[in-house]
A and B are shown apart, each in its own frame.
Chain A
Amino acid sequence: DTAVSQTPKYLVTQMGNDKSIKCEQNLGHDTMYWYKQDSKKFLKIMFSYNNKELIINETVPNRFSPKSPDKAHLNLHINSLELGDSAVYFCASSLAGVILDTQYFGPGTRLTVL
C-alpha cells in the first residue's frame, strides 16, 4: 500500500514528443506537488495543488501542464519535450500545505529525452 505512487518509473522518449507522468496518493492529503531534480541533484518545486486548485506555479515553461482530476491525483503533461527536460520528477503530497506539513514523496520518474 504505497503512500505516493508515480507511473512510469522510467520514461525514455525522443525530442519533440509529448508525455505524461501520473501521480496518486492514498494518504488523504489535500496538497500535492511536482518537483524536478536535475543531474546535479538539485530539487526545485514546479507546481503545487491544494484540493484540485493550483496554488504554486514556479517559472516553468508552459510546455509543462499539471492537471488534478481529484485531490488524490496530480498528473504532469509535458509537450514538445526538449533535451533539457531530462531529469527525475518527483510527486509529493502533504496534509494541508501549511508550514509544518511534512511532504511525502513518490519514488520519482526518471525522464530521459534523446
Chain B
Amino acid sequence: AQKITQTQPGMFVQEKEAVTLDCTYDTSDPSYGLFWYKQPSSGEMIFLIYQGSYDQQNATEGRYSLNFQKARKSANLVISASQLGDSAMYFCAMSPKTSGTYKYIFGTGTRLKVLA
C-alpha cells in the first residue's frame, strides 16, 4: 500500500536552532517524488522542496533541506536557523504512479512551533 507517515504530531524548536521533521513512506514503485509543504495558520499550502527517487543528491532550497534515505524510505525535512515565521503545519507528500497517473498522497502533518 502507498502510504506516508509523519510520526510527530507536534514539535517545538528554539528560534535560530535547526529542526528535523520526520517523514517515512511506503511504495513499491521504483519512481516517485517526495514533497514538503508548509501550511501556516492563514491556511494556504506553500510548496517548500521536492526530491525525486532517482536523485543522488539531497535537495536543498535556502534554509530547507531534504534528508533523503532511500533504503530507509525516509525523507526528513531539515529547517536550519528556525524563524518565528516557520511556525506552521508541515506536510510530507509522495507522488507514486497509480493507474498510469500521478497523485499526491499526504501525511498527517507535523505542527511546528518556533519559540522566541
Contacts and interface: CB of A to CB of B under 8 A. Distances in A.
Interface of A: 33, 35, 40-45, 48, 50, 55-56, 88, 90, 92, 97-108, 110
B100 to A, nearest CB: 8
A44 B52 contact: no
B37 to A, nearest CB: 8
Contacts of B44: 105-108
Nearest to B44: A107
A69 to B, nearest CB: 21
A105 B104 CA distance: 12
8 contacts: A41-B89, A45-B105, A48-B101, A90-B45, A100-B33, A100-B95, A102-B35, A107-B43
Contacts of A35: 104
Interface string B82-116: 00000001010001010001111110110000000
